[in-house]
Protein backbone atom coordinates (compact mmCIF):
# COMPACT_ATOMS: atom_id res chain seq x y z
CA UNK A 1 0.00 0.00 0.00
CA UNK A 2 1.78 3.09 -1.31
CA UNK A 3 0.81 5.87 1.10
CA UNK A 4 2.82 8.51 -0.75
CA UNK A 5 2.54 8.52 -4.52
CA UNK A 6 4.40 10.35 -7.23
CA UNK A 7 2.54 9.38 -10.35
CA UNK A 8 4.94 10.95 -12.85
CA UNK A 9 8.15 8.93 -13.09
CA UNK A 10 9.76 11.59 -15.25
CA UNK A 11 9.40 15.20 -16.32
CA UNK A 12 11.28 17.32 -18.86
CA UNK A 13 11.26 21.12 -18.67
CA UNK A 14 13.00 23.84 -20.66
CA UNK A 15 15.61 25.85 -18.81
CA UNK A 16 14.12 29.04 -17.39
CA UNK A 17 10.57 27.66 -17.27
CA UNK A 18 8.66 26.47 -14.23
CA UNK A 19 8.97 22.85 -13.09
CA UNK A 20 6.01 21.43 -11.17
CA UNK A 21 6.40 18.12 -9.38
CA UNK A 22 3.37 16.50 -7.82
CA UNK A 23 2.79 14.19 -4.88
CA UNK A 24 -0.37 12.60 -3.49
CA UNK A 25 -0.86 10.88 -0.16
CA UNK A 26 -3.52 8.67 1.34
CA UNK A 27 -2.79 8.74 5.08
CA UNK A 28 -4.68 11.64 6.69
CA UNK A 29 -2.43 11.33 9.76
CA UNK A 30 0.53 12.75 7.84
CA UNK A 31 1.22 16.23 9.16
CA UNK A 32 4.64 17.12 7.83
CA UNK A 33 5.90 16.87 4.27
CA UNK A 34 9.40 17.11 2.87
CA UNK A 35 11.03 17.14 -0.54
CA UNK A 36 14.41 15.57 -1.17
CA UNK A 37 16.62 15.85 -4.22
CA UNK A 38 18.94 13.08 -5.36
CA UNK A 39 21.78 13.16 -7.85
CA UNK A 40 23.16 9.90 -9.31
CA UNK A 41 25.58 8.03 -7.03
CA UNK A 42 24.79 10.35 -4.11
CA UNK A 43 22.44 10.19 -1.15
CA UNK A 44 19.25 12.28 -1.09
CA UNK A 45 19.55 15.80 0.27
CA UNK A 46 16.83 17.82 1.95
CA UNK A 47 15.28 20.55 -0.17
CA UNK A 48 12.21 22.07 1.49
CA UNK A 49 9.42 21.10 3.89
CA UNK A 50 5.95 22.15 4.94
CA UNK A 51 3.81 21.60 8.00
CA UNK A 52 0.16 20.66 7.59
CA UNK A 53 -0.87 23.89 9.30
CA UNK A 54 0.43 25.83 6.30
CA UNK A 55 -0.55 25.76 2.67
CA UNK A 56 2.62 27.24 1.20
CA UNK A 57 6.30 27.44 2.00
CA UNK A 58 8.87 29.26 -0.10
CA UNK A 59 12.66 29.11 -0.16
CA UNK A 60 14.32 30.96 -2.99
CA UNK A 61 13.41 29.33 -6.29
CA UNK A 62 11.55 26.51 -4.54
CA UNK A 63 7.95 26.66 -3.31
CA UNK A 64 5.91 23.83 -1.88
CA UNK A 65 2.10 23.99 -1.92
CA UNK A 66 -0.10 21.79 0.25
CA UNK A 67 -3.78 21.07 -0.40
CA UNK A 68 -4.94 19.05 2.59
CA UNK A 69 -8.48 18.50 1.37
CA UNK A 70 -7.13 16.94 -1.82
CA UNK A 71 -4.24 15.22 -0.01
CA UNK A 72 -1.93 16.70 -2.61
CA UNK A 73 1.27 18.66 -2.55
CA UNK A 74 3.41 20.12 -5.29
CA UNK A 75 6.91 21.49 -5.63
CA UNK A 76 7.44 24.46 -7.93
CA UNK A 77 10.89 25.39 -9.18
CA UNK A 78 11.15 28.78 -10.83
CA UNK A 79 13.18 29.38 -12.92
CA UNK A 80 14.42 25.89 -13.66
CA UNK A 81 18.19 25.52 -14.07
CA UNK A 82 20.33 22.68 -15.50
CA UNK A 83 21.58 21.86 -12.00
CA UNK A 84 18.01 21.04 -11.00
CA UNK A 85 18.15 17.87 -13.09
CA UNK A 86 17.82 15.14 -10.48
CA UNK A 87 15.35 12.71 -8.94
CA UNK A 88 12.94 14.36 -6.51
CA UNK A 89 11.34 12.42 -3.67
CA UNK A 90 8.33 13.51 -1.69
CA UNK A 91 8.20 12.27 1.92
CA UNK A 92 5.74 12.50 4.81
CA UNK A 93 5.70 11.95 8.55
CA UNK A 94 3.10 11.71 11.31
CA UNK A 95 3.02 13.56 14.60
CA UNK A 96 5.63 12.76 17.21
CA UNK A 97 7.59 10.66 14.79
CA UNK A 98 10.75 11.30 12.83
CA UNK A 99 10.17 8.35 10.50
CA UNK A 100 9.53 9.28 6.88
CA UNK A 101 7.44 7.54 4.24
CA UNK A 102 8.83 8.25 0.77
CA UNK A 103 7.24 8.38 -2.63
CA UNK A 104 8.69 6.61 -5.64
CA UNK A 105 10.40 9.69 -7.05
CA UNK A 106 10.19 11.83 -10.19
CA UNK A 107 13.19 12.25 -12.49
CA UNK A 108 13.38 15.89 -13.57
CA UNK A 109 15.41 16.76 -16.65
CA UNK A 110 16.06 20.40 -17.48
CA UNK A 111 16.64 20.94 -21.17
CA UNK A 112 19.14 23.73 -21.97
CA UNK B 1 32.19 17.29 9.56
CA UNK B 2 31.96 14.18 7.41
CA UNK B 3 28.20 13.91 8.03
CA UNK B 4 26.99 10.35 7.38
CA UNK B 5 29.55 7.88 6.05
CA UNK B 6 28.91 4.38 4.71
CA UNK B 7 31.22 1.51 3.90
CA UNK B 8 31.67 -0.17 1.53
CA UNK B 9 30.57 1.82 -1.53
CA UNK B 10 30.17 -1.29 -3.68
CA UNK B 11 29.85 -4.98 -2.88
CA UNK B 12 29.17 -8.14 -4.85
CA UNK B 13 28.03 -11.22 -2.93
CA UNK B 14 27.08 -14.73 -3.87
CA UNK B 15 23.74 -16.11 -2.73
CA UNK B 16 24.02 -17.31 0.86
CA UNK B 17 26.99 -15.18 1.82
CA UNK B 18 26.77 -12.76 4.72
CA UNK B 19 28.00 -9.22 5.12
CA UNK B 20 27.65 -6.14 7.28
CA UNK B 21 27.10 -2.63 5.98
CA UNK B 22 28.61 0.01 8.20
CA UNK B 23 27.27 3.47 8.89
CA UNK B 24 28.55 6.27 11.10
CA UNK B 25 27.46 9.86 11.73
CA UNK B 26 29.30 12.69 13.42
CA UNK B 27 26.36 15.05 13.98
CA UNK B 28 25.45 13.74 17.45
CA UNK B 29 22.06 12.62 16.15
CA UNK B 30 19.89 10.31 18.19
CA UNK B 31 17.99 8.67 15.33
CA UNK B 32 19.45 6.55 12.58
CA UNK B 33 17.87 4.69 9.68
CA UNK B 34 18.55 2.12 6.99
CA UNK B 35 16.74 2.33 3.65
CA UNK B 36 16.89 0.45 0.40
CA UNK B 37 16.22 2.03 -2.96
CA UNK B 38 14.95 -0.06 -5.84
CA UNK B 39 13.82 1.11 -9.31
CA UNK B 40 10.22 2.28 -9.22
CA UNK B 41 9.95 1.67 -5.47
CA UNK B 42 11.44 4.78 -3.98
CA UNK B 43 13.14 4.60 -0.60
CA UNK B 44 11.83 1.94 1.76
CA UNK B 45 12.69 1.84 5.44
CA UNK B 46 14.36 -1.39 6.59
CA UNK B 47 15.12 -0.63 10.25
CA UNK B 48 15.52 2.44 12.37
CA UNK B 49 16.92 3.34 15.76
CA UNK B 50 15.36 6.19 17.70
CA UNK B 51 18.20 6.22 20.22
CA UNK B 52 21.25 4.29 21.30
CA UNK B 53 20.21 0.84 22.43
CA UNK B 54 16.87 0.75 20.63
CA UNK B 55 15.95 -0.58 17.20
CA UNK B 56 12.65 -1.10 15.41
CA UNK B 57 11.50 -2.71 12.21
CA UNK B 58 10.53 -0.61 9.25
CA UNK B 59 8.58 -1.50 6.14
CA UNK B 60 10.87 -4.24 4.75
CA UNK B 61 12.90 -5.84 7.59
CA UNK B 62 12.89 -9.48 6.48
CA UNK B 63 16.35 -10.86 5.80
CA UNK B 64 18.14 -8.10 7.73
CA UNK B 65 19.42 -7.45 11.22
CA UNK B 66 20.77 -4.26 12.73
CA UNK B 67 22.98 -3.17 15.59
CA UNK B 68 23.13 0.27 17.13
CA UNK B 69 26.66 -0.07 18.40
CA UNK B 70 26.76 3.37 20.01
CA UNK B 71 25.32 6.79 19.28
CA UNK B 72 27.51 7.22 16.19
CA UNK B 73 27.26 3.82 14.52
CA UNK B 74 24.39 1.77 13.08
CA UNK B 75 25.18 -1.38 11.12
CA UNK B 76 23.00 -3.49 8.82
CA UNK B 77 23.69 -7.21 8.47
CA UNK B 78 22.59 -9.62 5.78
CA UNK B 79 22.94 -13.10 7.26
CA UNK B 80 22.27 -15.07 4.07
CA UNK B 81 22.14 -12.82 1.03
CA UNK B 82 19.53 -13.42 -1.67
CA UNK B 83 19.28 -11.93 -5.20
CA UNK B 84 16.17 -10.01 -4.03
CA UNK B 85 18.46 -8.02 -1.76
CA UNK B 86 20.28 -6.53 -4.72
CA UNK B 87 19.71 -2.84 -4.16
CA UNK B 88 21.25 0.48 -3.17
CA UNK B 89 21.33 0.88 0.60
CA UNK B 90 21.26 4.25 2.30
CA UNK B 91 21.91 5.10 5.90
CA UNK B 92 20.48 8.30 7.36
CA UNK B 93 20.38 10.16 10.65
CA UNK B 94 18.25 12.86 12.22
CA UNK B 95 18.50 14.83 15.40
CA UNK B 96 15.07 16.34 15.89
CA UNK B 97 14.35 14.67 19.21
CA UNK B 98 11.17 13.09 17.90
CA UNK B 99 9.94 16.33 16.34
CA UNK B 100 7.90 15.53 13.23
CA UNK B 101 9.40 16.65 9.97
CA UNK B 102 12.96 16.52 11.27
CA UNK B 103 15.14 16.42 8.23
CA UNK B 104 17.18 13.31 7.69
CA UNK B 105 20.76 13.44 6.47
CA UNK B 106 21.80 10.65 4.13
CA UNK B 107 25.03 8.87 3.43
CA UNK B 108 26.30 8.28 -0.13
CA UNK B 109 24.92 4.74 -0.34
CA UNK B 110 26.20 1.21 -0.80
CA UNK B 111 25.47 -0.53 -4.09
CA UNK B 112 25.01 -4.24 -3.37
CA UNK B 113 24.69 -6.96 -5.98
CA UNK B 114 23.80 -10.52 -4.99
CA UNK B 115 24.50 -13.12 -7.66
Residue B41 pLDDT greater than 70, yes or no: yes
d(CA B74, CA A35): 25
* Residue of B7, B41, B102 best to disrupt the A interface, most CBs of A under 10 A: B102
Check CB contact under 8 Å for B100 and A105: no
At CB < 8 A and 24+ separation, what contacts does A71-74 make? A71/A24, A71/A25, A71/A26, A71/A28, A72/A22, A72/A23, A72/A24, A72/A25, A73/A22, A73/A23, A73/A25, A73/A33, A74/A20, A74/A21, A74/A22, A74/A23
Q: What is the pLDDT of residues A44-101, one digit of tens each?
A: 999 999 999 999 999 999 999 999 999 999 999 999 999 999 999 999 998 767 789 9
Residue A18 pLDDT greater than 80, yes or no: yes
Measured between beta carbons, the chain B residues lying within 8 angstroms of A45 are: 106
Check CB contact under 8 Å for B107 and A9: no
pLDDT of residue B105: 95
The model's confidence at residue B39, banded by pLDDT at 50, 70 and 90, is: confident
Check CB contact under 8 Å for A96 and B105: no
pLDDT of residue A99: 86
Residue B97 pLDDT greater than 70, yes or no: no
Q: Which residue of A has its CA nearest to B30?
A: A98
pLDDT of residue B103: 87
d(CA B35, CA A22): 23
Distances (CA, A) of A9 to A58, A99, A109, B34, B41: 24, 24, 11, 24, 11
Check CB contact under 8 Å for B33 and A95: no
Q: What is the pLDDT of residues B2-35, one digit of tens each?
A: 899 999 999 999 999 999 999 999 999 999 999 9
Q: What is the pLDDT of residues B52-75, one digit of tens each?
A: 889 999 999 999 999 998 999 999
Of B100, B101, B108, the CB nearest to A42: B108
Check CB contact under 8 Å for B43 and A102: yes
The model's confidence at residue B1, banded by pLDDT at 50, 70 and 90, is: confident
Q: Which residue of B has its CA nearest to A43?
A: B108
Check CB contact under 8 Å for B42 and A104: yes
Top-confidence residue, A18 or A94? A18
Q: Count the helices and strands in chain B (H runs, E runs).
A: 0, 11
pLDDT of residue B2: 82
Is some CB atom of chain B closer than 8 A to the CB atom of A94? yes
The dihedral sign for the CA sequence A106, A70, A68, A56 = positive
Top-confidence residue, B29 or B40? B29
pLDDT of residue A96: 67
Residue B99 pLDDT greater than 80, yes or no: no
Amino acid sequence: DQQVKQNSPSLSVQEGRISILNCDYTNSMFDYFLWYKKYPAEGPTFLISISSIKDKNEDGRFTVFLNKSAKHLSLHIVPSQPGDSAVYFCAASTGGNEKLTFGTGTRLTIIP
Amino acid sequence: NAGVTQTPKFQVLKTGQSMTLQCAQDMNHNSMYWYRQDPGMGLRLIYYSASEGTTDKGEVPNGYNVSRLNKREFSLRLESAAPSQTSVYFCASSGGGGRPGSRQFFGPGTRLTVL
